[in-house]
Each structure stands twice: as C-alpha cells, then as structure tokens.
Structure 1
C-alpha cells in the first residue's frame, strides 16, 4: 500500500469525543455503507438522490480493493471497482457517465468502467495529484505537486484534461511547495491553492495561483504567524472566493479561512479549534457557506456568519472525517471517513441545515 495510505491508517486511532462546547446543534444521521473494513476518502453529490464516494475495502493487512459507492436517496451500494492501486484521494462528478478520481494517478468513469488516464510528463518529477475540479467543455483540472524523489522537494503542479489527454500547465517559478485545491472560474480561468514549503528564512506559507489571460500567476497571500497552508478553494461569485486550510503555531494547528473580495485576499475570524485543519469549503442551496475538516479524531464544521463577520462552529459529524460535500440544490451535507471507535470501520454521516 502507498505511504499516504499507511500514514492515514496509522493515524486513525481515537476515542469518541463529546460534542463541541458551544457548537450549534445539527442532526447528523449515520447512514450504513456496504464495507465492513476500510476507509472512505472523498465524496461528491449531484443531488439529494445521487451522490458518490470513493475509498477502499481491506481484504487483509496488506491487500485492498479500490471502490466507488453510490447513494440513490435511500442507501449506499457499491457502484464499481477502481483500478488496482488507484488509492483515490479526490473525486469529481459531472454525471453518472463521467466521473474522475485522483490519487495514485487519475482514472475516469465512462459509464461502464474506470479507465486510467496517464498524467503528462513533468520535468519536475512524478506528479502526485491532490485535487480535481471540473471545467467547461468537459475539461478537468488536477492540482498537486511534481516530486523528483523526496516529497519535501516537490514543486507545485497543475494539469488540464482537454478531452483526449492531460496537458501540463506552465507555472511561475515558485520554489518548493504543493497545491491542494483547485476550482474553475469559467472558460480560461481558475484558482489553485496550497503552500510554499518552509525555507531557512521563512515559515511555510499559503500559496494562491490564478489563471487569467492564458497565464498562471501567484497572488499575494496574508502574512501569518507560524506555518500555514491552504487545502481547498471555492468561488462564490466573480468577486468573491474562499480558501481554507490551517495555521500551526508552536505545534498546535488551528483553522484558517481566507476571503478574496475581488482584489485582495484577507484572513477571516475563525474559532480556535485545536487540530481543526479545514479540508473543504462550499455553499448550500440556502446560501450558507460551510467549511469542514479535522485531524485524527477531531472533526470540525464551521458556518460563515455575515452579520458577525466571523465563522461559527457547528456540531461535528462524530467520525474521523476524511471529506465533506454540500449537495447542489439542497441544504444537505455529507461527511465520509471512519468511525472513532473500532478498527477502520467506514462511516458516512448526513445532515440537513
């Protein structure tokens, strides 16, 4: 199994936590899945009656089947089996006949089977995908890092699927770092976020790239105390975007959320949640902006309160959460991962705001 999967497996030990003090209540519902032992790592929804999740089922301590699940509005069933050693970490769904998974490479569901799609050669090294985003005219973005050998020497990387093959994108000279989130802003426009790795003279800091007029450019990010990074990004309007991640000061991680107002990025007020790194951000049909994540046995869900100009904590789903998804046309939220109790017991949680 890959190093990333081994690391995640070793990090899941935890105990059942009490609801967050002062958190707004949510009626999270446990929804069974047809996997007794394994993990779920990504989820994406098209509607209240159509959602997909990917992960793996353990067959032994060293063997696993890569799989996709489907939600039909009543229950989760196994949808399909991904290519061996796919280790999916990200999922993007356009329709029942067009889905993408990324992890150890990328694969596309064509309505019948998963087909491996080889990434373009990158002079910086082997590309490790971290995030996917759908774009116009059936295009797809993938972001991550090009790794020449050691992960610490990786450099940010972006590729675009043009309908036939992946095409490497030319990025500005950024030094060592990675991209963890990407979103399309329309034809020929996109945002990608991640981190520039620490150097002898500066801590790790957020990285924001914008594609416009055919060129990727780095945008100024706020100067923050300690180490910081971004994990996900979403666009709300042509003049509003959000990126989330975490800061680490003296070894303690806290949530981080940045807002773009059409001209500049600024940090916003977040509640102090130890190990509360944020991994996802999105809006419900009612217009609520939610951010979610966690580390180890800690899960966190935040809601943006425009009146208070700050994020407020909501009740978390009560699992070791790997991924979250809002549902188009709905106020529902999905969380997937594993149970805080037991040995790699896959879990899904569903709630409606």
Structure 2
C-alpha cells in the first residue's frame, strides 16, 4: 500500500534475554550493516512482503503509473546480483503477501481488478498465484457458488508443504463470511474437483487478518485486530495483556511452539500510533518493551544470532525523517531504535535467509503525503 495503513508497555527482560542470549553483552548492542539493493527503475512501485527459502528470495507489491489503471501486481526474484520480474497472470491488481516452501513452491495473494468500463474498475476480487519454478499462474479457490466480493489477505506454507490461504467473501444473503483454505502440497485435484483445496472454518474471532503463520504440528496463528490460534478444527482468540486492548497487529513469527512473536501498534493520544510487540512463552502472551515514540510495526525476523529485527514506519520526522522504523535489542536487551537502512522509507516486510541475513522491503525515502516514490529492498548482514 502506498498510504500508511495497519498492517504502556511492560518489560519482558527475561523473555527477551532468552532470545538475545546475553542481553547485557556487547554483542547484543551491535548494530547490523544494511545494504541497499532496491530494484532500479521502480518509480511508482512499492513492495509489501519478502520471503526467502533455500537460496531463493522473492518480493511482491504493486506498480502504479499511467498504464496500470489502477495498479499492476509486482513479483520480483533476487538473482544474487539484481532483481528479475517474470510476467504476471493478472494485468491489473496488487500482491500483498508471500509464502515460500521451496524454490518451485512460492505463493502470493492479493487483489485483481477488472475494468467495468473506462472509469470504473470495480471493487476487486481475490487473487492467488503460484510460482512453479518457471512461471506464475493464477490459482482458483473453491469459494461457494454465488460468492461475491472475494478477497485474500494472508498465505502460509507449513512444514509439510501444505498451503494455507485466508480471505473472505459476501454470500448470497449479503453477509460477509471469513474463509480459510488448505491446499495439498502436490496441488492435484481431489474427488470434489476442487483442485486439492479444502475450505475450513474461517471464523478467527478477529474482524480482519493481516498475516498467517503456520507453526509446528499444523497449528496456525492469525494476526489482525488481535491474535487467534487454529488447532486444525477451530479458532481460539488469544488473551493479550489488558493494556493492549485495541492493539492492531500486522506481523507474526513462530520460532518454536513456545516462542511466538507478534508486532503491530496501538493508537495513542499523544503519539498517534505507538509500537507494540508481544511474545508467547508457552503459557501466556506478554508485552515486550518498546520505545515510547511514534511508530508502527509491520513485520519481524530473526538474524543469524537469534536476535529480533522488527521493521515498520514512523510518521514523526523527529523520530526518523525518512520514515523507516527498525527496532533491535539494545545493550540491556530491550528493543530500541538503533538502525536506519540507507535509502529506506516505510518498511513493510522482513525475512531471514539461510545465511542469517535479514531482508526488508517497502518504499524508498522521500515519501510525500504517505506515498513512497519507489520500491525499496535492503539486506542486513
């Protein structure tokens, strides 16, 4: 998205120190070195998500210019020296989320637009596409007959290779229905002719979902206006600290079944939006201390030493004039703002590759009115 949109903390020093190893050590205070690897010629583009697996890195987003009416989807693959952008199955639309199980099993979700007439591009419809190692193809999901206003917002791949897709639709009675789909790893059609896809309960207890995370044992977590857990049968909305009532989450990362992190923001009368990080320790979700300043968090990754790197944006130029917002553990183990990727503006996605490098994507510096002038990508060594 071009515009900035969602997508009192108490310290959890003991929990964070477990991730940082020795929170007070000099190593914990070290900052990473960022390298700008933004795609050239990407004016009018922005990247929303990045994923990496087995030496393959992809980033997705949108491009907007006089020819896209209103947007064109973008999916780019890192070659080791630059970016390649294979042809897209949809001429008009946007891609918001990625999931990668293997170099030839990459999935992306978003919205496609089809012209109603020369001036009306409708409300958009669900877009799911798959990279098979050679090309991107659009994949149809078994929405119920008569479903309208279909949408997709999140995708994940579990350790067995199954694909999970979350979205929604309007049914024949005009009611909005949440939907969860699971796709077989081989993608072969089942007896019902649904292309290997099964529709499962989608009532997360949340009003919207921004990201899915597939953890050990086939357990899913969804984040949005809260956190919810799917055990394979039903969803359970998670109990968060009372101080986070009204918090909105955009990113989640599972390290183990007893170590899950979610990041986002909460509205603040003085700061507008204040960064929020919570962590599940196997028993309860607890707040991780963040700076008391204007910031909004979108994603989290862990570097090769197991330290969290949280990315987002700030609309306060006194916090960062370029708008990028990165939190990492400081000398005492608390999350602090110590790094600024060169050339970066708002940051929306983060991922870690096999070498322990953290990737981040978003928009370049120089945004005006919340609109990024071009796509940004960076690598943290």
Distance 1:212 1:36, change over 3 A: closer
8 Å CA contact 1:324, 1:333 repeated in 2:
no
Distance 1:61 1:336, change over 3 A: same
1:66 lines up with 2:48 in the alignment: no
Offset of 1:124 from its aligned partner?
A: 9.1
* Partners of 1:103 and 1:236 in 2: CA distance: 26
Offset of 1:29 from its aligned partner?
A: 1.9
Partner of 1:88: 95
Partner of 1:262: 282
1:132 lines up with 2:167 in the alignment: no
1:189 lines up with 2:219 in the alignment: yes
Offset of 1:90 from its aligned partner?
A: 0.7
8 Å CA contact 1:154, 1:178 repeated in 2:
no
1:51 lines up with 2:57 in the alignment: yes
Distance 1:78 1:116, change over 3 A: closer
Per-residue CA deviation, residues 200-234 of structure 1 (Å, 9 max, x unaligned), is xxxxxx2x221225322222122226631111111
* Partners of 1:266 and 1:145 in 2: CA distance: 30
3-state SS of the aligned residue for 1:56?
strand
Distance 1:328 1:347, change over 3 A: closer
Partner of 2:373: 344
8 Å CA contact 1:300, 1:314 repeated in 2:
no
TM-score by length of 2: 0.73
3-state SS of the aligned residue for 2:134?
coil
> Structure 1 regions of 5+ residues with no counterpart?
1-7, 13-22, 196-205
Partner of 2:143: 121
Distance 1:131 1:65, change over 3 A: same
> Structure 2 regions of 5+ residues with no counterpart?
6-28, 112-126, 188-194, 316-321
Counterpart selection for 2:198 from 162, 167, 192: 167
8 Å CA contact 1:35, 1:57 repeated in 2:
no
8 Å CA contact 1:43, 1:324 repeated in 2:
yes
Counterpart selection for 1:331 from 337, 341, 356: 356
8 Å CA contact 1:24, 1:314 repeated in 2:
no
Counterpart selection for 2:311 from 292, 311, 316: 292
Per-residue CA deviation, residues 238-281 of structure 1 (Å, 9 max, x unaligned), is 2111111111022710110111111211111111231x111111
Offset of 1:350 from its aligned partner?
A: 1.9
Per-residue CA deviation, residues 160-188 of structure 1 (Å, 9 max, x unaligned), is 223334433214573x6111121111343
Which structure has the highest strand share of the two? 1
Q: RCO greater where, 1 or 2, for CA within 8 Å and sep 6 or more? A: 2
TM-score by length of 1: 0.78
Aligned length: 317
8 Å CA contact 2:153, 2:167 repeated in 1:
yes
